[in-house]
Amino acid sequence: MHWLPLLGVLAIVIGFALRFNPVPVVVAAAIVSGLAAGKSIAEILALIGNSFVSERALLLFVLTLPAIGVLERAGLREHVGNWIATLRGLTLSRILIVYLAIRQILAMLGLTDVAGQAQTVRPLLAPMAESAAEKRGKALDENERNDVRAFSAATDNVGRFFGEDVFIALGAVLLIQGFYSQHGIELEPLQIALWALPTAIAAFFIHAARTVLFARRIKNAGTGASASPGRLQARSTDERQNMPDKRAPDLDP
Amino acid sequence: MLKIEHAYWLVALFLAGAAWFNLRDRRWWHAAFWLVLAALMGGGRYVMEATAAHDALPAQLAGVGVIALAVLSPRMKRGHIFEREAAAREADAKRLRHRLFGPALLIPLVTLLVALFGAYVVVDGWHLFDPTRMTLTGLALACMVALIAALWVTRAKPAAGIAEGRRLLDTLGWAALLPLTLAALGGVFAATGVGTAVADLVRMVIPVDSAVACVIAYGLGMVLFTVIMGNAFAAFPVLTAGVGLPLLIQLHGANPAILGSIGMVTGYCGTLFTPMAANFNIVPVALLELPNQNDVIRAQWKTGALLLVVNLALMYFLVFRF
C-alpha cells in the first residue's frame, strides 16, 4: 500500500496537536513511517541514525554560546540597553528595518550563517530593540517585552529566507537546477536566482510596513502614562535584573 | 587543514563539558542527554564512513542513540542554574562599555572573512580551510576567536566559557536538538515514499485542466508540505515532480526557471508558519526566553501570509508569459 507511510505524517500532526514534547513525537513518526513502509527495525534504526548524523551542521550554532555566555556574565545585555537609551534617533522601527535590509543583503551574498538567532538576535538585536522601544518614556511590560523579542526573531527569519536564493548560486538555486537537470531540463543558476528577486523585494516592503505598524502600536501603548527619565532608567534596569527567573520559559506542554 | 569535522569535534567537546557540569550538579538526565548527543556529534563521521562501507551497525547504534535522546527529552526540566547577580553584571557593563561589543561582533566578522577570503589562505599549496562548507567552518573558528576575546576583555577564567555556555545550553534544552531530529525525519520520509504519496493525493483533488488551479495547488502544496516537513528543500522535489513538472510545465507550458524559483520561495512562506522549522521558530523562543512556544510564529505569520498571496500572483502572471 503506497498510502501507508502517510501514517508518519498523521503521527506528527496528532503529536503536535496534543502538545506532546516534539522530540519523541518526531522520532516516533519516523519509526511509524518506516514500519508502514515495511522496513525492519534494524533498517529503521540505521536510517534514523544515518539521517541524524548527516545533518550535524544544524547543531553548530551551539558553539556561539560560550562566548555569548561570558559576555552576558559581564553585562552585555545591560550595556546594550544603556547604550541604545542614549541614542536619540534610533527608534524601534529603524533598528528592525535596517537589520532586515542588512540580513537580506548578507543572505543574498551567500552569507546566511554570519547572522542568526544565536549569533546576533539574542546578544544584540533583541536587547537593542527592547531598549529602543523603551524610549517611548515608559518601561515595557512583560507582554510587550516578549512581543518585541519575538518580532526581532521574526525579522531575522524573514531577512534570511527572502535573501537566500537571490543572485548567488547557493543551496536553494543549486537544488532547483539539480532537480531540473535530473528531469532533462538544463538551466543556468543565474536564471533561477534572478526570478527570486521580485519576492525578495516584496518581502522587504511587507515586513518593513508591518514593523512600522508594530512599532507604532508599542509606542502608543506607552503614551499617556508619564514617567520621569530617571525613574524609567531605574525601573527598566530592575526589570532586566529580574528577567531570567521571572521569564523562565516552560516549553514542556 | 581546518575542516567542518573539527567544528563537530568542538561541539562534542562543549557538550561533554556541559554534561560534566550537570553531573557535578546531580542533574543526571541533563548529563545523560548532552553526553549521548556529544557521542553522536563526535562519532558522526565514523558512522557515515561505516555506512558507505556497508557496515550498518554504527548507524544502528546511532539510531538507538537518537531514540535515547527522544526518551530523555521530556525529562529535561528547567531547574535553577546559577547566574551572576545582576548588580555585578551592571557594574561590569558600566566599566567595560563598548569593549563588550568587540567579541560579539567578532563572530559575524570572522565568519565573513573566512567566507570571503578563506579560499585564498594558501601556504605552499596547503589550504588552511577545506573548501566544502567553508562558511560553517569559519563560524566555528569565529566562535573560538570570540570566546578568547571575551575571556580577555572580561578577565574571566577559561572555565567560565563552558560554565556560561552550559547555562545557555540548558536554557535551550531539547529545543537545541529539534532541528536535527526534524532533518533526520525528512531523510526517513524521503526513504519511505511519503513524498510520492502526498503528490498523488494533490493530483487526485484538483481539476488539472485549469492553469489557475494547478498554480494554486502547486503553491499551496509547497506551503503545506513545508509546514509538515519544516523545510522547503524537502518539499520542492516532491511537489515539483508530482505537480509542477507534469501539470504546469508539460501540460500548461510554464517556464521552469520561474516556476522553480518562485515555487521555492513560496515554500519559504510555509517555513514562517510551522513549529517544525525548529531552528528558526522554536530555538529563538528558548533563546529569547519567551513564554509560549509559538510566539515567534505569531509575530511573523502575517508577513508569510501576505507574501504567499504575492507569490501566487507572481507565479500566475509570470510563468506563462516568459
Q: Taking residues A217-221, report their average pLDDT.
A: 92
Lowest mean pLDDT, pick from A91-105, A170-184, A200-214, B98-112: A170-184
Q: How far is A33 from chain B (nearest CA, A)?
A: 7
Identify which of A124, A92, A40 has the alpha carbon closest to the alpha carbon of residue A216: A92
Please check the confidence at residue A223 and state whether its pLDDT lies above 80: no
Identify which of B129, B300, B20, B216 has the alpha carbon closest to the alpha carbon of residue A117: B300
Please check the confidence at residue A228 and state whether its pLDDT lies above 50: no
Question: How many domains, chain B?
Answer: 2
| End-to-end alpha carbon distance in chain B | 46
**pLDDT tens track for B171-210:** 888 888 887 887 788 778 878 887 678 777 877 888 888 8
Query: Contact at 8 Å (CB) between B156 and A73?
Result: yes
Please check the confidence at residue A237 and state whether its pLDDT lies above 50: no
Query: Contact at 8 Å (CB) between B163 and B25?
Result: no
Predicted TM-score (pTM) of this structure: 0.77
Is residue B194 domain-shared with residue B156, that is, in the same domain? no
Is residue B49 domain-shared with residue B156, that is, in the same domain? yes
Query: Contact at 8 Å (CB) between B202 and B158?
Result: no
Q: Determine the residue of chain B that is closest to A188 in CA distance.
A: B257
Is residue B148 domain-shared with residue B24, that is, in the same domain? yes
Query: Do B194 and A63 count as a contact with CB atoms less than 8 A apart?
Result: no
End-of-domain residue from the set B157, B176, B195: B176
More confident site: A186 or B62: B62
Residues shown for chain B: 322
The one-letter amino acid code at A68 reads I
End-of-domain residue from the set B160, B176, B192: B176
Is residue B78 domain-shared with residue B227, that is, in the same domain? no
Within 8 A of A69 by CB-CB distance, chain B residues are 160-161, 163-168
Please check the confidence at residue A118 and state whether its pLDDT lies above 80: yes
Lowest mean pLDDT, pick from A21-35, A227-241, B32-46: A227-241
What's the domain range around B104? 4-176
Is residue B71 domain-shared with residue B130, that is, in the same domain? yes
Highest average pLDDT, of A107-111, B130-134, B160-164, comes from B160-164
Q: How far is A227 from chain B (nearest CA, A)?
A: 22
Q: Taking residues B285-307, report their average pLDDT.
A: 94
CB contact residues (below 8 A), chain B span 56-95, against chain A: 56, 58-67, 69-71, 73-74, 77-78, 80, 83-84, 86-87, 89-94
Query: Do A150 and B298 count as a contact with CB atoms less than 8 A apart?
Result: yes
Please check the confidence at residue A253 and state whether its pLDDT lies above 50: no
The one-letter amino acid code at B170 reads D
Predicted pLDDT at A119: 81
Sorted by where each begins, the domain ranges of chain A are: 4-54, 61-246
pLDDT band at B286 (very low <50, low <70, confident <90, very high): very high
Query: Do A23 and B181 count as a contact with CB atoms less than 8 A apart?
Result: yes
Q: Percentage of chain A with pLDDT > 70? A: 84
Does an H or E element contain B122, and which? Answer: strand B122-123
Predicted pLDDT at B6: 93
Q: How far is A18 from chain B (nearest CA, A)?
A: 14
Q: Residue A29 has which C-alpha cell? A: 513518526
Is residue B146 domain-shared with residue B238, that is, in the same domain? no
Q: What average pLDDT does the structure give for chain B?
A: 89
**pLDDT tens track for B239-254:** 888 888 888 998 899 9
Q: Taking residues B53-76, report their average pLDDT.
A: 94
Is residue B99 domain-shared with residue B196, that is, in the same domain? no
More confident site: A14 or B300: B300
Within 8 A of B181 by CB-CB distance, chain A residues are 22-23, 26-27, 52
Is residue B254 domain-shared with residue B239, that is, in the same domain? yes
